[in-house]
Structure formats: structure tokens, C-alpha cells
Amino acid sequence: MMTSSSFIDDESSLTPFRKKVYKLVHQIPKGKVRSYGSIAKELQTSARAVGTAMGNNPWGPCDKVP
């Protein structure tokens, strides 16, 4: 599994919130799916906030999080 410092080349431009979202997304096992809502519950935020972070992720479209 990738660590939080290895899956993004330059984390300096990321907010602490986006780092948390991306760390959780990278913990999703291959072949599994989670919703924005389930990630939001874990981070105690809204699904919209997670969706916005994922819309701006540094590695392109993500098929693990619908």
C-alpha cells in the first residue's frame, strides 16, 4: 500500500483536508468502491466537500469513488 507521502509528487499545494481525503481514497483496496458519502462520514464533513476534493485530485479521474 502506498503511504501518504508516496502517492502524490508534491503535497505542498494541497490543503490538509485534501490530504486526508486522498489518503483515505488510496486506502481503498483494489476492486472495491466507496461513496463520497461514506468518506465524508469518516471525515465528519459533507459529500459535496469530498466530491470537490476528488474533482481536483492530482492523479486524474478516480473510478474507486463514484
CA atoms lying within 13 Å on the CB side of residue 59: 14
The set of catalytic residues is 62
pTM (two decimals)? 0.74
Q: Where are the alpha helices (DSSP H) in 1-66?
A: 16-26, 36-43, 47-55
Tens digit of each residue's pLDDT (9 = 90 or more) over 29-66: 988 889 999 999 999 999 999 999 998 887 776 665 65
Q: Which residues fall within 8 angstroms of residue 31, CB to CB, at 6 or more apart?
A: none
